């Protein structure tokens, strides 16, 4: 029997979601081993094999695909563990990455950090100034070679970088996205001097391959980030691949991309793996939303380290309207838009003496080691999980399905010492405040992501995912004025579940300015070849890659997106093109109408200005091969009242409006039947999460075994 194993590495736990060929699913969670992510990865694989009553070799031998959302690249950036790189650029532009943008000091900083103008600093570049060389070559803004490349100069300056310790190269020349000839010639020279059979062979990243788009600063930074994390990821993933093969796995490792798709490891650029887990979760929410016939979804995932937010409007995943930031670096990758804040179960609560003793939660996290104080692994800081345990919401004897025991006394001690005593309140009141603050912060961030982009949150369905999502859903949902929350059955491992729904997909992009509506003549362009040539070249690249993946052309599906703007404006608006190729001015008219409609929806109809001309600035061709989402069968209804075998011993818990802890009914989620209704206050325990049903809320299990929370 063939199965798929889907893995999402988080800051606190590594999640596994396994789908058998007949649709049966199994899950597990393993603490993330930050010192070596492959250790936790293989521990999870061994546990899954035991759950299936198999030897690891048999389990992996029957596995048809391993899909992986990795944080290796992100960790390398945060910890600055990448190799020493050399940057080769056009003479006169050696300082591009150091000058940056006018506000590059704000890139990747929190709103709180960016307000502290006296202390804010630009990020320290990944490449030091002595590792940058400029070449006396030039290509103009039309792609014409103005000054040819000098081979002897390349060799001389290449040797200079090697002598200074370069272990890889980023090649970023001016206007190379229009004409990559010089960049490719430089790569050829480097590979000729340091061939693969030399120990000194070094990876070479070309900006025309990694990011063939205009705007040299973001093109440079995207290429440098890719080069910086490439070596670290390559070494780690190759070692992981060896362990999998030794364990009996015979298929390629598939990596989920921030573009909303996945590809073989051998066909993946390192920079595209950033934020893959939350993007996979958002794709999973889209898949589940189709079962409910809803196209507007707010996706949230509260894990141990972060709180992720994504929106789906009109049944579409949206890419960033602006340039996404990886760590402290602005890039121009076509990433799906996800907002992450430091608000998870492991987020640390602290008293800010600079703010007159105000209580704050996050963004720092206790992670998986040492973790919250209640883990009894040496943690000395109070966290959200500690507060939830003190309030009675978590079962100390049934955390992670009983695999981890929690110590409530340690939670009380650390909250009393670090929070209650400085604030002059009881431990219970301190725990209540920690929970209220983190709920308010999450609720406000969700509201900002939806309402400030022109949408009414009440028109959306809220998905509460992650190991702590069900525990806090009733706390942050009121800030959106939504009356219905869906807690998916696989919510504790939702990133891994989402990976099982992702298509084989990649995005090919290219900058090209085309004036398709002329402001002078107020007419549509008749130059069709300029448009079709770009699309055909991108299509050929996509088909080449998918043939190497083993897919025939008839299985590949294409979607064309365009960055467009009015001729007198700076900001871009992305649209889905109504046609893949243009056959006449009429096609340009349809594209312009689609742009006007999208622009009107974002900026209001009064803001449109077609008289100024309409330009296309960038092409994005998405090529995909559909993979079928895991089948989910509807189960029979079991009546409104929960069965007796679903009732667990009651325990004392704290609720809003009630001064003291009160005996609260507790239920086992696996024992509930579809149709069962539970009125709050109540606690519903699952192997990897606990659903907290506040007073005034009702929990219902539906036919897909998803939990539905509704305000009464």
pLDDT score of 151 more than 80: yes
Per DSSP bridges, beta strands 662-668 and 647-653 are antiparallel
Is residue 338 within 8 Å of residue 357, measured between CB atoms? no
Which range has the worst mean pLDDT, 66-70, 201-205, 423-427? 201-205
Mean confidence (pLDDT) of the chain = 89
Per DSSP bridges, beta strands 169-172 and 86-90 are parallel
* Spatial separation of the C-alpha atoms in residues 630 and 52, rounded to whole Å: 18
* Spatial separation of the C-alpha atoms in residues 230 and 217, rounded to whole Å: 20
Q: What is the pLDDT of residues 218-270, one digit of tens each?
A: 999 999 999 999 888 888 888 888 899 999 998 889 999 988 888 888 778 88
Residues 6+ apart with CB under 8 A from 512: 530, 534, 616, 617, 618, 619
pLDDT score of 321 more than 60: no
* Spatial separation of the C-alpha atoms in residues 209 and 227, rounded to whole Å: 12
* Spatial separation of the C-alpha atoms in residues 656 and 392, rounded to whole Å: 13
pLDDT bracket for residue 439 (50, 70, 90): very high
Q: What is the pLDDT of residues 411-420, one digit of tens each?
A: 999 999 999 9
Q: What is the pLDDT of residues 35-55, one digit of tens each?
A: 888 888 999 999 999 999 999
Q: What is the pLDDT of residues 625-649, one digit of tens each?
A: 887 766 666 777 777 778 888 999 9
Per-residue tokens: 152: 């002897």
Q: What is the mean pLDDT of residues 288-298?
A: 89
- Give the position of tokens 């992986």: 68
pLDDT score of 274 more than 70: yes
Write out the DSSP string of 101-153. -TTGGGTT--HHHHH-TTT--PPPPSS-GGGEEEES-EE-TTS-EEE---HHH
Is residue 29 within 8 Å of residue 467, measured between CB atoms? yes
% of the chain beyond a pLDDT of 70? 97
Residue (of 616, 537, 512) closest to 214 by Cα position: 512
Per DSSP bridges, beta strands 461-465 and 484-487 are parallel
Give the domains, in start order, of the chain with CATH numbers: 3-76+236-273 (3.30.420.40), 504-625 (3.30.1490)
Write out the DSSP string of 431-480. HHHHHHHHHHHHHHHHHHHHHTTT--GGGSEEEEESTTHHHHHHHHGGGG
CA dihedral 454, 456, 460, 466 (to 10 degrees): 80
- Name the pTM for this structure: 0.89
Query: At 600, is the secondary structure helix, strand, or coil?
Result: helix
Length in residues, the chain: 712
């Amino acid at each position: 029997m063939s199965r798929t194993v889907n893995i999402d590495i988080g800051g606190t736990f590594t999640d596994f979601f396994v789908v058998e060929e007949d649709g049966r699913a199994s899950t597990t969670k393993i603490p993330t081993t930050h010192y070596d992510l492959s250790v936790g990865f293989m521990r999870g694989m061994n546990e899954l094999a035991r759950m299936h009553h198999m030897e690891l070799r048999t389990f992996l031998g029957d596995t048809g695909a391993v899909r992986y959302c990795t944080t290796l690249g992100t960790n390398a950036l945060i910890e600055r563990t990448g190799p020493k790189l050399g940057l080769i650029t056009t003479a006169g532009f050696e300082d591009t990455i150091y000058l940056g943008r006018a506000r590059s000091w704000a890139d990747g900083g929190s709103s709180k950090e960016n307000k502290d103008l006296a202390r804010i600093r630009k990020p320290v570049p990944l490449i030091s100034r002595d590792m940058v060389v400029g070449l006396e070559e030039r290509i103009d803004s039309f792609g014409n070679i103005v000054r040819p490349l000098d081979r002897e100069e390349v060799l001389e300056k290449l040797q200079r970088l090697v002598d200074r310790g370069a272990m890889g190269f980023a090649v970023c020349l001016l206007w190379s996205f229009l004409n990559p000839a010089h960049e490719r010639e430089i790569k050829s020279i480097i590979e000729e001097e340091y061939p693969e059979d030399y120990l000194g062979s070094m990876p070479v990243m070309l900006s025309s391959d990694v990011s063939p788009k205009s705007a040299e600063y973001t093109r440079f930074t995207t290429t440098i980030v890719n080069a910086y994390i490439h070596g670290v990821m390559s070494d780690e993933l190759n070692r992981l691949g060896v362990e999998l093969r030794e364990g009996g796995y015979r298929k390629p490792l598939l990596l989920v991309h921030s573009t909303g798709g996945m590809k073989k490891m051998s066909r993946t650029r390192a920079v595209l793996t950033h934020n893959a887990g939350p993007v996979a979760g958002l794709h999973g929410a889209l898949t589940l939303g189709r079962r409910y016939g809803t196209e507007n979804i707010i996706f949230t995932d509260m894990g141990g380290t972060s709180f992720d937010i994504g929106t789906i409007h009109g049944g579409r995943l949206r890419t960033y309207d602006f340039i996404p930031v990886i760590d402290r670096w602005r890039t121009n990758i076509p990433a799906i838009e996800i907002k992450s804040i430091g608000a998870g179960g492991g987020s640390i609560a602290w008293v800010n003496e600079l703010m007159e003793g105000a209580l704050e939660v996050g963004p720092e996290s206790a992670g998986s080691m040492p973790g919250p104080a209640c883990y009894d692994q040496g943690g000395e800081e109070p966290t959200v999980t500690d507060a939830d345990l003190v309030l009675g919401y978590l079962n100390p004897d049934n955390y992670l399905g009983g695999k981890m025991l929690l110590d409530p006394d340690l939670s009380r001690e650390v909250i009393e010492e670090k929070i209650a005593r400085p604030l002059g309140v009881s431990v219970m009141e301190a725990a209540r405040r920690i929970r209220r603050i983190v709920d308010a912060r999450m609720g406000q961030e969700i509201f900002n992501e939806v309402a400030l982009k022109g949408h009414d949150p009440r028109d959306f369905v809220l998905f509460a995912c992650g190991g702590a999502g069900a525990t806090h859903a009733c706390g942050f949902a009121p800030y959106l004025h939504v009356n219905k929350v869906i807690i998916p059955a696989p919510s504790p491992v939702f990133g891994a579940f989402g990976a099982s729904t992702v298509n084989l997909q990649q995005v090919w992009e290219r900058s090209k300015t085309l004036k398709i509506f002329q402001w002078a003549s107020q007419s549509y362009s008749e130059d069709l070849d300029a448009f079709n040539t770009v699309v055909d070249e991108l299509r050929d690249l996509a088909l080449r890659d998918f043939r190497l993946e083993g897919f025939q052309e008839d299985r590949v599906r294409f979607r064309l997106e365009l960055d467009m703007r009015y001729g007198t404006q700076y900001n871009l608006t992305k649209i889905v093109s109504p046609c893949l190729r243009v056959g006449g001015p009429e096609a340009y008219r349809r594209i312009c109408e689609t742009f006007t409609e999208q622009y009107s929806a974002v900026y209001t109809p009064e803001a449109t200005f077609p008289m100024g001309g309409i330009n296309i600035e960038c092409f994005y061709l998405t090529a995909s091969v559909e993979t079928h989402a895991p089948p989910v069968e509807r189960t029979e209804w079991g009546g409104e009242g929960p069965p007796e075998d679903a009732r667990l011993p009651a325990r004392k818990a704290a609720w809003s409006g009630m001064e003291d802890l009160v005996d609260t009914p507790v239920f086992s989620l696996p024992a509930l039947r579809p149709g069962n209704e539970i009125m709050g206050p109540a606690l519903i325990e699952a192997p990897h999460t606990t659903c907290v049903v506040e007073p005034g809320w009702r929990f219902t299990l539906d036919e897909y075994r998803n939990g539905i929370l509704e305000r009464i």
